[in-house]
Amino acid sequence: MKGPGSASKVTYVTLAGNEEANAAYDRAVAAARGSLSLTYSNWIDGHPVGSSRPMDDDRSPIDTSVIVARFPKGTPADVSAALEGARRAFPAWSGRPWQERVAVLRRAAETISSRMTELAALMSIEVGKNRLEAMGDAEESADLLRYYCDQIESAGGFETPLARLLPGEDTRSVLRPHGVFAVVAPFNFPAALAAGMAGGALVAGNTVVFKPSSEAPLTGLRLYEILAEAGVPPGVFQFVTGGGRELGDAFLDERFDGIVFTGSKEVGLDLYRRFAKPWPKPVIVEMGGKNPAIVTRHADLEKAASGVARSAFGYGGQKCSACSRAYVAAEVYDEFVGRLAEAAGKMTIGDPTERTVYLGPVISAKAKATHQAALSEARRDGRIVFEGKVRDDAALARGHFVPPVIADRLPDGHRLWRDELFVPFLAVGRVASLDEALARANDTEYGLTAGIFSRDESEVRTFFDRIEAGVAYANRSTGATTGAWPGVQSFCGWKSSGSTGKGGCGPWYVQQFLREQSRTIVRDEPAP
């Protein structure tokens, strides 16, 4: 970790025993709670912009009586002004040597690392992440910026000499930025996904109009401030908050040159269909998953139970990579389900800023209602194998707390096998063979992540060859289907999980923000 002076990096699985990081986080939480309920602005062309409308209250899902911050309700006029400003800023930013853009973003990454615990504390309060998830999110955002800078550097700014047909010719392939990108970020990784999407666009030379999730605007503002402090010029990175269809439609303005979005399939597909006008433009959308884990009779069941439980219930299942389906060999089904319930039963529910708490609240009353509906349907149509307990506590009653749930005996084709829920709910099914498990795992419109637990190498090879998912894991006890890191796992969605087949965290991401130009110069040959 580069924050409180330790040499080790805090990821989503490396906080245990790091007393320095835990103490720094506790101090940061106390400081964050002392600066809540302030009023902030949008930022356009480097200037604060308010709104004539009533302000939006950004409330904590831990305790909805707590107002984290107040932000303007952005309007289509705000988006239009930000877009025009970004267009004006584009020539100078894209015209700077790529080495200068890289230097700016590397400074931002170092600032994020140095402020990791501050950002993590804010995320815990604003979106309900436990300290492990929140610190991992902050450090990943810094590493994403570093990794995308590495991609530009290793490619020499994406300028490549090509062959010659005639004497005197000099031809090169040059990747050039498109212009202005809309960047629309989700609540669940409010630092990492925002920084990754915006960083890919910026380091490539594009300018950005950034809209954070309306459930995480303050974390988004901190990213804006850090980039500005690092040297991103006014107008290059614009900041507009708000929500609703009217504001969302403003990001379909044909003056945008591209859009990058992470969120629901419904919104992502709508953007994909409606954005590209008057000609095709980059539409980079990541749209979630219904991610399966397969447990064969050759699995290490302790490792499998840990991996599935962590993946299904980490951050309340509010990850597009969360495991929501498990297909288990009949020979080990009962033992595995027992171990899985035992692992889930050890997950403490409560205020995620507390060190012993694993599972905080879901993000909203809507998410809580989704969980309650799934639980009711599972009781009616299947069997509840495990249901955690939210303690009867007045403080927890003010937040969006729900228990982890494991259900089985759901009929094939039931919506709980099919719909992405984004809550801590796992459906488990018994299978007779690996072939059946793979067929059921692939029977989904999504194709984001998948995992297998088996000590049989041939089963693992078969899984990798036949699974229809962009991110595949074998025997991962820290997360059956979760846990990507920049430069370690590419995070790419197939089918309805993504639009490009090239993932964030991976080696082909930055090129999506660029377009190719072939440049041929014919030089005069010297006279004989």
For residue range 232-278, list pLDDT tens digits in order. 999 999 999 999 999 999 999 999 999 999 999 999 999 999 998 89
What are the tens digits of pLDDT across the range 26-38?
999 999 999 999 9
Residue 3 has pLDDT above 60, yes or no: no
65 token code pair: 């009586």
Residue 476 is predicted with a pLDDT of: 97
Interval 7-15 mean pLDDT: 67
Q: Stretch 112-130: mean pLDDT, rounded?
A: 97
Q: What is the mean pLDDT of residues 484-499?
A: 94
Specify the domain boundaries for CATH 3.40.605.10 within the chain: 19-287+502-516
Question: Which H helix or E strand runs over 459?
Answer: helix 457-466
Per-residue confidence at 87, pLDDT binned at 50, 70, 90?
very high
> Given pLDDT bands bounded at 50, 70 and 90, which one contains residue 19?
confident
| Residue among 468, 425, 430 at smallest CA distance from 296 | 430
Instruction: Specify the pLDDT at position 2.
Output: 42
Residues taking part in catalysis: 286, 320
Mean pLDDT value across residues 370-386: 98
pLDDT band at 527 (very low <50, low <70, confident <90, very high): low
Cis status, amide bond into 278, omega within 30 of 0: yes
Q: What is the pLDDT of residue 6?
A: 40
Q: Looking at 50-59, 97-106, 171-180, 434-443, which range is the least confident one?
A: 50-59
- Is pLDDT at 1 greater than 60 in this prediction? no
Domain 19-287+502-516 has CATH 3.30.1330.60: no
d(CA 64, CA 495): 37
Q: Please answer whether residues 148 and 509 qualify as being in contact, where contact means their C-beta atoms are separated by less than 8 angstroms.
A: yes
Q: What are the backbone angles phi and psi of residue 415, rounded to the nearest 5°?
A: -60, -25
Location of each CATH 3.40.309.10 domain in the chain: 291-492
Inform me whether the pLDDT recorded for 4 exceeds 50: no
Four-way CATH pick for 291-492: 2.60.40.10, 3.90.740.10, 3.20.20.70, 3.40.309.10:
3.40.309.10
pLDDT range class, residue 315, cuts 50, 70, 90: very high
DSSP state of 155: T
**pLDDT attached to residue 395:** 87
Amino acid at the residue 216: A
Rounded Cα–Cα distance for residues 193 and 183 (Å): 10
Is the CA virtual torsion 41, 44, 50, 56 positive or negative? negative
The DSSP bridge pattern shows strands 291-295 and 449-453 to be parallel
